[in-house]
Every structure is written in structure tokens, then in C-alpha cells.
Structure 1
Amino acid sequence: MSQPTVPDREAPSITCDEPGSFPWQVFHVRHPALIRRLLEALPYGQAERQAFAALLRESQHDQVAALSPEAPDFELWQVWGKEQYGRPWRQQGFLWSESYFYRRLLQAGGYFGDGGWRGVDLFAPFKHAELDAPAFTGDLAALDRQHALADGERERSLLMTAVWGNLADLGFTIAGKETGDTGALAADDSDRLWKLLDGGLVTVVADNSGRELLADLVLVDHLLAAGRAREVSLLVKPQPYYISDATPSDVLDCLDRMTGAAGAAPRIGGRLRQALRDDRLRLRAHPFGCAPLGYRDMPGDLREEFAASTVTIMKGDLNYRRLAGDRLWPPTTPFAEVTAYFPGPVAALRTVKSEVVTGLDRRTAAELEAADPSWRTSGTHAVIQVATPRDRE
């Protein structure tokens, strides 16, 4: 079968080349702040500290250096990045360069080495602090109030909590953003999403750990308990990535926190644990989860999994960038058009925190741009968007 073609109206790729732009600020403001936090949180020695400093210099001023042939994922990155090596970082696509930065960050911290830092999640101090924070305790207590809602209200509450849970992103807060009251939906296909959830296989591609993962797990529990899904496949990252991205260990830590709480939380956590034992909930970590590529380039086994799903739910901003393509689309570009390659129904639940936006009606797009030109990166708006093969005919 031939691959679907790209949209006729191809948009320019987002790069880090323009001083003052959002991608430029990520590399010149957010990344230095992250490394300062890492060095405060973990007692790295001189070798690791020098490696972090060298990575910052290279990513801000120099050309992209290739991985060592001894790296365990050397062959993968030869496929994913061989055309980028030797070229300036600032000229790379933002998705590729940001992803490679985090891969190199693990290397600088000794994650792949033979020393004492091997396999240590350098973001673990931040993740554990979030699980112990008052906000997470408040989220656990809020599950009691959700449980008391009428069915329709409860489903809406669970879905919106999963959407806005994406605001609880440690990379976002490290950049100086605060997570407070939620904003407004710029697009809302929630009715279409519920109609797709008819008791089949649902794939959920998770984004962040902590508070967002809690919201995702509670939604998964409801889908299973209410018969909205026969089975759920939960895809997480195979290794630490983008500060707070969820790994299998983060899922288990979140379940432990739930089962150790009071009220509704331990009952939900217990059901999820049993669902894992019964294979009604399958925890998956695919190497492509940390690829610097869009889902258009997904491998065949992942394509088959998505094709077999009643619907694939993509959580969060990074998954949206990978789904729609990290390009400066006109915001009215149809969501179904930029996801035409996807092998089955797909839904995006995303707080808008980067420049990629599609699927807005003209009035909404115009009003948002007029009210605040920085709305795409401020986290004040979110989208629930759905596309099916029928939309793409």
C-alpha cells in the first residue's frame, strides 16, 4: 500500500534560527535554566558538569555532533539524524533539534555510560517532587468530587481534566510559566470523540508524568469501567525524555501514589492494577516514542497498532507537533488534512504550548490572534480535535 501524500499546502518548517522566537528562547533560555536545575538537584561530578556545559555551547553556537558508534542507539540515530550532523543546530527543524538535545542531555548525564549514573533518570527529582506536592494531593482528593457527578457531567469532567492536565508540564514550569486556572477550548470535537468510544481497542499515547498522567489514568479507568473501551493500550516513553515525559516507571509510581491515598483514588488505582494483570490495560514503550520525527514516519509495527485501534488518543503538545507536523500551518488548515496519513481515527487532547495549530474556524483564529499574538505558546487555550478516515476521503 502506498503512503498517503502530504498536504498540498505544505507550510514552512519551524526552526530555531530567528533570535527571540519561541524555539530560539527554548534553546537560549529554557535549556540553560533546565541544566541549572539539574545541577542543583543531582550531585554530578566534574565530567558530567563539563559535558552539560559543552552541550549548551554546541547547541547554541556550533554544529550538530553525531553520537559515538558505541552508543546503544547509534544505528537508530544514524537513520534519524545522519543528514543533520555537521550542520548548525539553529538551522535544524525545531522538533528534530529539541529531541536530539534531550537525547544528548541523557548522554551528558551518564545515562548510557558504564559509571554510577548509568540508567539514572536525571529528571526523577522533579517528577518525585510533583508526586509529593500539595497540588497532586489536591488532584487525588478531587477524584471524590468527580465520582459524585452525574454520568454526563462526570465524563465531561474527566475529559477536560485530561486535556488541561497537559498544562502540568515540568518543561513549561521551568520556563517560568505558572499552572493555574484553565483557559478556553479553541476547538472542541468532544462529542465526536465520545461517539468513537464504542467498546473497542483504544490506544492512548501519553505525554507527561505526574499530574497529567494521573488525569490520563483516571480517564483510562473510566473507559474500561464504563465499557467505553474493551481494552486500552497505554504508550509511554522507553526512557527519560523532555523532562517530565512518562516512562513505565512513572506509571507505576503514579499508581503507588494513588493506592496509598484515601477516598476514590485507591479504588481507581486498584482497578487499574487489576486491568494490567488481566491484559485489559497494556503498558507499552516503543523506541519511536523518543524519535525526532513526526508520526508520518512511524515504523510499520506502530502503524499496524494504530490501524487496529478504534481510536488513538494523542495526549499533549509534543504529540500534537509530531502528529500535525512541526510546521507553521495557517491555523485554519483542516486537522484532517494534516493527519491524512494516519492509519485510523485519531484524537488530539492538547493544551496549546507551541506554534503548531490547525483545525480552527476563521472567526476563532482571527479573535485569538487579535487578542494575544502569543496565545499559541502561553498555555491559555486547548484543543480537542478528531479526524477519521471518512474525513479524509
Structure 2
Amino acid sequence: MTSPEITGNPPGSFAWSVLHERHPKLIAQVRDGLPYPPATGRALDELADEITGEIQPHAGWEKYAGRSWDDVPFLWAESCFYRKLLDAVGYFAPGPWQGVDPFEPVKSAELRGPELAADLAAFATRTDDAAVESALLTASLWGNRADLGFRLSSGQADGAGALLVDESPLLWSLLDGGPVVVVADNAARELVPDLLLADRLLTTGRAGTVVLHAKPYPYYVSDALLPDVVAALRRLTESPVADAGHRLARAMRDGRLDVRAHPFSCAPWSYHRMPDDLAADFASATVTIMKGDLNYRRLVGDRRWPPTTPFAEVTAYFPGRVAALRTMKCDVAVGIPADVVDRLDASGERWRSNGAHAVIHVR
């Protein structure tokens, strides 16, 4: 079973808007975020010019060289753009800017922002066990709306949205004290509730260990790296829920919370192509929790699926039980009941990509 891969065509589509509107804004944001030298400014100018035309050859990224950015698989085009952006700012090259995250300024601002402070203050008032777990899952799900790249091209405000599919009871039933894998998405305001959820799983015994997969290097603006995990833990220890931050730090020291960063996390492919060692990691878990929109696209395949396509069918290849906590911010959609699809299609809203809807799928 398959469907066509999503590309940047036709004009006006969500993928087209990312390539033609979000990416130029992102280049400008990166340029203004850190005091880069003139050579970096010139490299960013060259990238801004390139994304208006054909893909230029790049080491390791030759597959679609010479073609329009709009005509190649969208997931590949986005990934290639971010790799070229990192090369433009000297992230991988020897020198003083090597390893400097170009997205750190916006991540840090969000981590110290009033919205997260309010989130933490509100969570500190929760005392009932059921309410705590519901709030954590909700925060981990909707925290994905804080995605910094999404904010560049969306007018959506924060606030409650519509949960189109909720299979969270099945997710909770699977958590029987075994190992749990959480594949993180964004840093800062989304990562903090992910960590609090991990703390809850560990302290209640729902999970014996939690493996948190971060990214090995900056990717898709706000994706979480190990330094972002450390920064989030530090933020927690300075908050009204400081005890959770200290527990998580101890859990990292004793191995109950293990942070990993597999290179495939930044590959321009779906998880259908995952290497054997990563598949074994997922297979060893009671359940793997995939966070966010990008991981969802990689899990089900970045394709034009009919939205009623069963989630279980498109994830049947995955090695073990898997859950997806996803705010909908692109055109990929599966597992939506037909009556819900009909209602949303009739509404005229861009429900697949406006960030106002979410799903919790479990297989």
C-alpha cells in the first residue's frame, strides 16, 4: 500500500509555502540571531539565491541536484535545506563557529519566556494523580504547537485545539513497567513537558527506564539536542517543579533516563529505512512514543495518504508498539474517521496544517 510522495508542487500548497516563504524567513532569522562574520553572511545570501532555483550539488546530497526544489520529495528538500544552512554558518567546519547552534537564540528565549513560566506554575498546582497524568500528556501533545519553525508561517495563536483521535487509554494500558522510548521533537516549551512525562513514568513505575532520542545536530529550527535537554533540566530545577528536575538529573546519572542521538534522526527518509541498530532500540521498548509532526511524517511516510487510511496499516512495518503524539502542521494525515474528514473538509479550513488539530494514535 502506497501513495505519491509529497512535493513542493502545486504552488500554494503547504509544502510550497515552506519552501518559498518559511525558508527565506528562516535564513533572515539565523542571520540576525548571532553575530556571524561577513563570509557567513555571503554564504547565507548564496543559499537564499539557491532556494529560488535549482538544487546545487552538495557533498552527500547529490541525489536531486539540478532539479527544482519544488519537484523533489518534500521531506528530502527540507532536510537538504537545513543541512546546507548548517554548512553556511560553519557548523561542521573547523573554526570558532564549529558546533554553534544557529537556532539557540530562539530556543533560549522560549525556554526563559513567560509562556513556559506560566505552564510550569500551572502544573505545580496539580495534585490528583489522574489530573497530573492527563495534564502531562496534553502538554506533551499540544506543546508541539510551540514549534519555532511553524511560527514563521502560521498565524495560529496558542490555545486549546481539537483532538481528532484520542487513543491515550490504550497508550496508558501499555505502560506496564518496561522500557519506554520517547523520540523527542522540539526543544524548550515542548521538551519540558516531555521530560516531566518521563519523570512521571519513572516515579510511578509505569516505565522502568526511559530512552529519550534527541537529534545529533541542529535540525528543523527547534529540534531538541542534548544541550537542549540539559538546558531544560536546568530550567526545571529553577521552577516550581524543581523536584522533578532533580529527579530527572539523578535518573540520567543512574541510567534510568538515557539520552541518545542516532544519526538517522537527521536523515531525509522515513523510518521505513531505519538501520538495524535503531530498529533494535525501538523493538526493545514496551512502546515507542513518537513526538511531533516531523516524526509523524517519518513514521507513516511523507505521502498523500487518504486521511482515512488506518494508522495500523501504514505503521505495520515498525518494530514494536508505537504511539504518535502529533499536532497537525502539514498535509500528511492518516487514521482520521471518515465523518470527521467530511466535516473538516466541508469547513474550508486548512485543518491538516494549521496547527489547530491533533491526534494520539497507538498501534
Report the counterpart of residue 70 of structure 1 in structure 2: none
Task: Look up the match of 1:285.
Answer: 261
Distance 2:93 2:114 in 1: 36
- Which residues of 2 match residues 19-34 of structure 1 at below 5 A? 19-34=11-26
Number of the residue aligned with 2:69: 89
Aligned partners of 1:64 and 1:88 also within 8 Å:
no
Residue of structure 2 equivalent to 1:243: 221
Aligned residues: 363
Gaps of 5+ in 2: none
Mapping of residues 282-361 of structure 1, within 5 Å: 282-361=258-337
1:84-103 CA distance string (max 9 Å, x none): 23333221100011011001
**Equivalence for 1:259:** 237
Q: Is the 8 A contact 2:214 2:224 kept in 1?
A: yes
Equivalences for 1:9-48 in 2 at 5 Å?
Answer: 10-48=2-40
Alpha-carbon distance in structure 1 between the residues aligned to 2:168 and 2:55: 44
Q: Provide the residue aligned with 1:113 in structure 2.
A: 93
Aligned to 1:273: 249
Which residue is 1:225 aligned to?
Answer: 203
1:96-135 paired onto structure 2 within 5 Å? 96-135=76-115
**1:39, 1:104 → 2: CA distance?**
14
CA deviations 1:183-206 (Å, max 9, x no partner) are 011111011101111110100000
Report the Cα distance in structure 2 between the residues aligned to 1:132 and 1:83, rounded to whole angstroms.
40
Q: Is the 8 A contact 2:54 2:65 kept in 1?
A: no
Q: CA–CA distance in 1 between the matches of 2:212 and 2:157?
A: 25
Deviation at 1:365, TM superposition (A): 1.1
Partner Cα separation in structure 1 for residue 156 and residue 120 of structure 2: 20
Q: 1:112 Cα shift?
A: 1.2
Task: Give the aligned partner of residue 63 of structure 1.
Answer: 55
Whole-angstrom CA distance in 2 between matches of 1:124 and 1:286: 20
Give the match's secondary structure for 1:229: coil
Matched residue, 2:118: 138
Percent of matched pairs sharing the same residue: 52
Native 8 Å contact 2:325 2:361 kept in 1: yes
Contact map agreement 2:183 2:213 (CA 8 A) in 1: yes
Q: CA deviation at 1:82?
A: 4.1
Distance 2:137 2:238 in 1: 24
TM-score by length of 2: 0.97
Q: CA deviation at 1:40?
A: 1.6
For 2:329, the aligned partner's letter is K
Q: 1:168 aligned to 2:146?
A: yes
Q: TM-score, normalised by structure 1?
A: 0.90
Q: Is the 8 A contact 2:182 2:210 kept in 1?
A: yes
Deviations 1:40-67 (A, max 9, x none): 2212222111211211222221134222
RMSD: 1.2
How far apart in 2 are the matches of 1:362 and 1:178?
A: 25
**AA partner of residue 218 (structure 1):** L
Contact (CA 8 Å) 1:168, 1:179: kept in 2 or not? no
Counterpart position of 2:159: 181
Per-residue CA shift, 1:10-55, capped at 9, x if unaligned? 1111001321111111111111111111122212222111211211
Match of 1:372 among 319, 324, 348: 348
Contact 2:30 2:102 in 1 (8 A): yes
| Counterpart Cα distance in 2 of 1:172 and 1:297 | 26
Q: Kindly report structure 1 stretches of 4+ aligned residues shifted beyond 4 Å.
A: none
Between stretches 214-223 and 179-188, larger displacement belongs to 179-188
Contact 1:320 1:350 in 2 (8 A): yes
- Look up the SS of the partner of 1:323 in the other structure: helix
User: In 2, distance between residues paired with 1:187 and 1:292?
Assistant: 27
